Amino acid sequence: MEAPAAPHDPAENHPAENHPAENAPAENAPADNGPAVTELTVTSPDQMRELGRRLAKLLRAGDLVMLTGELGAGKTTLTRGLGEGLDVRGAVTSPTFVIARVHPALGDGPPLVHVDAYRLSGGLDEMEDLDLDVSLPDSVIVVEWGEGKVEELTDDRLHVVIHRAVGDTTDEVRHVTLTGIGARWSTADLSALTA
Ligand SMILES: Nc1ncnc2c1ncn2[C@@H]1O[C@H](COP(=O)(O)OP(=O)(O)O)[C@@H](O)[C@H]1O
Ligand SMILES: [Mg+2]
């Protein structure tokens, strides 16, 4: 339903006139309501790991999780919890000296592919060239340093940004922002993570 144009309005095409009418129906909103963003604060490595365990319960095969944060932010710590929650084989460690490590599932769940994209310059092509002994669509893929490199793997992704509280380097406080991008995440209930 279109709002009727204001009569005798000389500025008909002025952008300011494009704002939704008062009491506008939802259809005036963009079709994509924008990504769901969840913010939380974590105060210890254990809590970060616990966050990973909880997040694991929301993940399924084909999911891509991108982790962003400076060195020591807690990306690998979070992934360790993911590995525990997904019940996969092998301890999750920093993959700095390998580009990707596959953790096979111990149970019925998907395997975890843990990628350090720091040294991936070629992006997706290089990922495919890794010749991982696993099907990516059947796996949960967690990528550290993946921004600008692995987005093309899927339209849907969960972007996790970890910020260290500024100033005090001994501080264990981390601010975590989770942004679910794409249809996959439009209905996901990330609030379960803060419960
Ligand atoms: N709240 C926290 N969450 C995660 N790690 C923390 C936290 N507080 C302190 N740390 C410490 O910070 C370091 C994080 O390392 P790591 O997870 O390897 O980071 P990254 O993979 O982002 O480089 C670990 O030594 C961990 O014990
Ligand atoms: Mg790391």
CATH code of the region 36-193: 3.40.50.300
Closest ligand to residue 74's CA: 1
- The binding-site residues of ligand 1, defined as CB within 6 angstroms of any ligand atom, are 42-45, 48, 69, 71-77, 94, 144, 172, 174
The rounded Å distance from CA 104 to ligand 1 centre is 24
Q: How far apart are CA 64 and CA 141, in angstroms?
A: 5
Chain centroid to CA 31: how far?
A: 21
Q: How far apart are CA 84 and CA 152, in angstroms?
A: 27
pTM score, whole prediction: 0.81
Please report, for residues 27, 103, 132, 162, 192, the alpha-carbon distance to residue 112 in angstroms, rounded to integers and kept in the order given.
Answer: 39, 5, 12, 20, 21
* Ranges of each domain in the chain: 36-193
The rounded Å distance from CA 145 to ligand 2 centre is 9
- Can you give the pLDDT of all 195 residues of the chain as single tens digits? 445 444 444 444 444 444 444 444 444 434 455 677 899 999 999 999 999 999 999 999 999 999 999 999 999 999 999 999 999 999 998 866 678 889 999 999 999 999 888 877 766 667 666 767 788 889 999 999 888 888 887 889 999 999 987 765 668 999 999 999 999 998 888 888 886
